[in-house]
Structure 1
Amino acid sequence: MSSLPKPFSVREGPCESSGARRGSPSSTPHQLPSSSRLAAAGLGSLSDHRRSYAARRNLAAAAVGGRKITHPGKAILAGGIAGGIEICITFPTEYVKTQLQLDERANPPRYRGIGDCVKLTVQDHGLRGLYRGLSSLLYGSIPKSAVRFGTFEMLSNPMRDATGRLDNTRSLLCGLGAGIAEAIVIVCPMETLKVKLIHDQCSLRPRYRGFFHGVSEIIREQGVRGTYQGLTATVLKQGTNQAIRFYVMNLLRNWYKGDDPRKEMHPIVTAMFGATAGAASVFGNTPLDVVKTRMQGLEAHRYKNTVDCAFQILKQEGPQAFYKGTVPRLGRVCLDVAIVFVIYEEVVKLLNNVWKTQ
């Protein structure tokens, strides 16, 4: 019996020579090397490596549990829903803004201000008059917001870091791209029709009986090109518009979340940030909006091009004319952007629960 080999234990077996004893330094597979060995190898101290390891671990955890990248399909659907709801709420302010911008100083002004515009419109056409041209915006707002948010997500997704964070400069560029896309595909024809319908209502003998009649008449007389009046001004306006809005919104979002990309934003906070982004865009590009509106009106033939329109406004009406309608536009846009961002974020959250994507 004594000649039989004695069974080895974990403490006595072959692993003992390789340092696998319980409590030995190498018994833990991921044990970090000692400070002396790291220092000898010129790799820094043990505390430095522990901090580096912890940073990589936290980054990986943030990438898994942080803000997920929004699928473009979800962005398109959520943006369309948000745009439709928003325009039904805020259209009267858009109507007043457009009327004041069309009330050129070269002719005797019809309106003395916002209140007077609302009062005369209701007297002449009733409350429904404040919603004249709504159909053209409603038909366009749903695809407009869909294109805007879908394009923004498609452009921004490859630019985000491992935590889903988008830096401010890239958000500006992505917003610019989203604004240009929506201007060409949706906004220019939609805005042209809206302005013509509203401007037609100011005439003593309105020509258009409604949205579809107005569209058919415009296309019959001017062709499809007639719905693309002021394209250059619209691209400039929408591009800068969305660039400013997404930049400010992303700036505020990054500031609010700080180093925690998983931090949730309450809808009230989202609304406040959205209103701020809307206000910034109003003061930043209202002159372009005024030029765009003039280029899409019934008297657009007076101007050779976008530059000539801006020059004539400056020459005949002064620089202050570029900010006509700023107050009603400010109220409308702040409410618009706040509502859109809140509804968009909430719809995306809902879609994440029922539509699973990578």
Structure 2
Amino acid sequence: MASTRREKPFHSLFAGAAAGALEAFITYPTEYVKTRSQFGGKREGPIAIVRSTIREKGVTGLYSGCTALVIGNATKAGVRFVSYDYFKTLLADDKGKVTAWRSLVAGMGAGLMEAIIAVTPSETIKTKLIDDAKRPQPRFHGLVHGTRIIVAEEGIRGIYRGLGPVMMRQGANSAVRFTTYSTLKQFVQSNARTGTTLPSTVTFGIGAIAGLVTVYTTMPLDVIKTRMQSLEARTEYRNAFHCAYRIFTEEGVRRFWTGTTPRLARLLLSGGIVFTTYEKMMQLIGGNAI
């Protein structure tokens, strides 16, 4: 168990947003490849996607939809850490202790909050921009233009498509990631010979392991989310369950783990970058680490 105190919301928001923005920009090409590989139709391997994208669009093609994800990821991470701190404080016992199970619940609550406030609209727009970019003649010319067309044609519902699977994925993501990270961090600290402040290399490694566990436990939800946010979703799938059924019956169970390699690459880096940046930012502004 770990002790906890209520963090100032601004501290968590600022540190989380900075960590999220940095992580999104550094790891975006892996997100692009992962998303492209999850669309229906012909299967493409990660290397083939990178080669065809660079050949047709140049290196900048690997950053199609990046702005949407950077903005969304900064907002998402800020909301995630504020929410996690809030729920963790609510679930602490009389001595201020939080068990692994309560940390799991706090993480799930944080994931649901970020899915509603930030993740669904930003990832829906990002997914549609990537889907459109692979066309011979793309319709969308950047984030603002693409968003304006999506809203004009589909309304606000158009940028909230796939909310259900996003909530499930983010709830599971945050629950697994926070619980794994906090549990491993407590274990390392309890066995450390000197002090309780861990070096950045250690927090990066712990965060990477948390990302690894998260990928394999939540991958099917990520595939369903991507399909529900594609340009063809309105005509192909009635809802998330129908989408999952069609993937299973038409493409097989292995399709639910399509895009694992690029997502794994991203979350290994993501976990290390986000938690290390967050911990460092909290130290700089006088906040309390996880």
Specify if TM > 0.5.
yes
Matched residue, 2:245:
311
Cα shift at 1:165: 4.6
Closer/same/farther in 2, CA of residues 269 and 164 from structure 1, 3 Å limit? farther
Distance 1:158 1:320 in 2: 39
CA contact (8 A) 1:241 1:285 kept: yes
Matched residue, 1:330:
264
CA contact (8 A) 2:91 2:106 kept: no
Residue 27 (structure 2) pairs with residue 90 (structure 1): yes
Match for 2:8: what amino acid?
A: H
Distance 1:327 1:215 in 2: 29
Match for 1:74: what amino acid?
A: H
Cα shift at 1:204: 2.2
Matched residue, 2:215:
282
Structure 2, unmatched stretches of 5+, are none
Cα shift at 1:164: 5.7
Q: 1:289-308, aligned counterparts within 5 Å?
A: 289-301=222-234, 302-308=236-242
Q: 1:50-69, aligned counterparts within 5 Å?
A: 69=6
Describe the superposition over 1:255-307 as per-residue Cα deviations: whole angstroms up to 9, x where unpaired. 122289x6112111111111111111100010000000000000102101000
Structure 1, unmatched stretches of 5+, are 1-61
Matched residue, 1:266:
199
Aligned length: 285
| Correspondent of 1:199 among 131, 134, 140 | 131
Q: TM-score, with normalisation over the residues of structure 1?
A: 0.76
Distance 1:142 1:188 in 2: 13
Residue 9 (structure 2) pairs with residue 75 (structure 1): no
Match for 2:85: what amino acid?
A: E
Match for 1:150: what amino acid?
A: V
Q: Matched residue of 2:35: which SS?
A: helix
Match for 2:170: what amino acid?
A: Q
Distance 1:223 1:100 in 2: 27
CA contact (8 A) 2:5 2:96 kept: yes
Cα shift at 1:254: 1.8
CA contact (8 A) 1:69 1:164 kept: no
Distance 1:219 1:289 in 2: 23
CA contact (8 A) 2:108 2:174 kept: yes
Q: TM-score, with normalisation over the residues of structure 2?
A: 0.93
| Correspondent of 2:278 among 344, 347, 352 | 344
Runs of 4+ aligned residues of structure 1 deviating over 4 Å after TM superposition are 161-165
Cα shift at 1:98: 0.5
Cα shift at 1:88: 1.1
Q: Matched residue of 2:20: which SS?
A: helix
Describe the superposition over 1:295-343 as per-residue Cα deviations: whole angstroms up to 9, x where unpaired. 0000102101000000000011000000000011000011011100000
Distance 1:334 1:238 in 2: 17
Closer/same/farther in 2, CA of residues 265 and 162 from structure 1, 3 Å limit? farther
Distance 1:306 1:245 in 2: 24
| Correspondent of 1:248 among 152, 159, 180 | 180
Cα shift at 1:167: 1.5
Closer/same/farther in 2, CA of residues 95 and 101 from structure 1, 3 Å limit? same
Distance 1:99 1:318 in 2: 18
The structure in which a higher percent of residues are helix is 2
Q: Over the residues paired in the alignment, what is the CA RMSD in angstroms?
A: 2.1
Distance 1:117 1:304 in 2: 29
Distance 1:288 1:167 in 2: 26
Matched residue, 1:231:
163
Cα shift at 1:163: 7.4
Distance 2:280 2:93 in 1: 23
CA contact (8 A) 1:71 1:153 kept: no
